Structure 1
Amino acid sequence: MLIEVIADTLSDALIAQEAGAGRIELVTGLAEGGLTPGCGVIERVCRELRIPVNVMIRPHSRGFCYSEEDIEIMIQDIKMCNKSGAAGVVFGVLTPDHQVHNDHLKRLIDAAGGLDITFHRAFDEADDQFAALEVIKEYPQISRILTSGGQSSAADASERLKRLHELTADSHLKIMAGAGLSVDNIKVFLDEVPVTEVHFGTGVRVESSYEYAINAERVQALKKMIGA
């Protein structure tokens, strides 16, 4: 079981690493759902951490349908992440009618040049998640989909997530459950949805809020509970 933790500062990333997280999703703009961090943060975190750092590639918070200029900027950011030593990148692209945007996706994948790729929670805004899954499965470069099963909390979408997990069992693709998971509900959730990667944000923070730092004890407790 791999625990991925959201971090927006070097100190948060170091706390998560020392507490036992298996991977960091590095972002800024947590109140906006996560945006691409600045170059300095990316370079420093990637240099100082021993565990993989996957960087959010999201130029703004106005949805996941991007202009040509947005895509060009995202490509530039991806290339910078590659040079900075990031393990991977995290992105998702949709059309105006909430389908996976194949052209944009292909261009971002090409820019990644072998980096680990997560298709993020843009997936939760797809018009048809099962159709979107079949499209994403066509790209062997994509390692996983981060999803809450279309609900605000993954804990409320166990049936959907279990089905998505089953549909990826014979593929290169993994379902990583995220949003609303915590020490309080993770055991029951995993008993129902046997995913092998889980993603935590506020669930591992002091006061369960992005206004506060990562709580090492919560990460350690999760690690102990789920055998990560």
Structure 2
Amino acid sequence: MLLEVIAITTEDALIASAHGANRIELITGFMEGGLTPSIGLIEQVAQQVSIPVQVMVRPHSRSFVYSKSDVATMVQDIKAIRQYGRNGIGIVVGVLTEAGLIDTYTLEHILDASQDLDVTFHRAFDEIADQEQAYEQLSNYSQIKRVLTSGGKPSVLQATDRIKRLVEMSKTSHVAILAGGGLHTNALAEFIEETGVKEIHLGTAVRGPMGANDLVESDKMHTVRAILDQMIGKKIK
């Protein structure tokens, strides 16, 4: 079972990587759903963390519909991030049209700038009405390795049937389903059993009582890692 953990500081990333995370999502603006972190932070994490790191590329939190100047900013950020690609750095992006569909024109422009970077399509996916069709579209792009989703619900725990269906679709695709949003320790094992998901994304669930304002906590990481390790080899529905 793969565990991805949100980091907003170098300390977050170091704690998570030392205590069971398999991958980091590096962001700033946690309370805004994640924004592009500074190059200084990206460099520090790339130099100090040995596990893969997916860097958020999102210039603002107004929407997932971007202007030409927004896209130009994203492309420049990607070019800067790309220099750390040899250190296991990838990117996290999501672009939509005004109609709430995947903006394939802009996505292809971004993927062209990304070259061979590993790409996650983020929870912009959760604003799309027909997620199965959207998933099939994303499966056409070899650079996109996973979709982060809560199944279109505020909490992924409210979308077990949708996640289960997407996981089933992923069995014939190179695009994995990364389940996140509202997951907590007590529901983790049951959720995995019910959906068959193989990749989990956690943020506040591995932090202290102040949530985004607290560091990742090693004891919570150990608890989650133990649950995930117990699920390995267990029969999943």
TM (normalized to structure 2)?
Answer: 0.94
Which residue matches 1:69?
Answer: 69
**Which stretch has the larger CA shift, 176-185 or 93-102?**
176-185
CA-CA distance at 1:127 after TM superposition:
2.7
2:142 maps to 140
In 2: Cα distance, 1:216 partner to 1:108 partner? 35
Aligned residues: 228
State the distance in 1 between where 2:94 and 2:117 align: 15
Which residue number in structure 2 is paired with residue 169 of structure 1?
171
| Structure 2 match to 1:105 | 107
Per-residue CA distance 1:55-99 (angstroms, 9 max, x = gap)? 000000011000011111101111111113452100000000000
User: Are 1:97 and 1:127, in contact at CA under 8 Å, matched by a contact in 2?
Assistant: no
Distance 2:147 2:203 in 1: 16
Looking at structure 1, the residues matched to 129 and 70 of structure 2 have their Cα atoms a distance apart, in angstroms, of: 22
Partner residue, 2:235:
none
In structure 2, distance between residues paired with 1:31 and 1:161: 24
State how far apart, in whole Å, the 1-side matches of 2:45 and 2:9 are.
8
Shift of 1:217: 0.9
Residue of 87, 90, 104 corresponding to 1:88 = 90
Letter in 1 for 2:195: V
- Alignment-mate amino acid for residue 70 of structure 1: D
Q: Give ranges in structure 2 of 5+ residues lacking alignment.
A: 233-237
Q: Distance in 1 between matches of 2:107 and 2:182?
A: 27
Q: Percent identical across equivalent pairs?
A: 46
TM-score normalised per structure 1: 0.97
Distance 1:122 1:66 in 2: 12
* 2:19 maps to 1:13: no
Unaligned runs of 5+ in 1: none
d(CA) in 2 for partners of 1:218, 1:182: 10
Partner of 2:211: 209
SS in 2 for 1:97: coil
Aligned to 1:178: 180
State the AA in 2 paired with 1:153: S
SS of 1:161 mapped into structure 2: helix
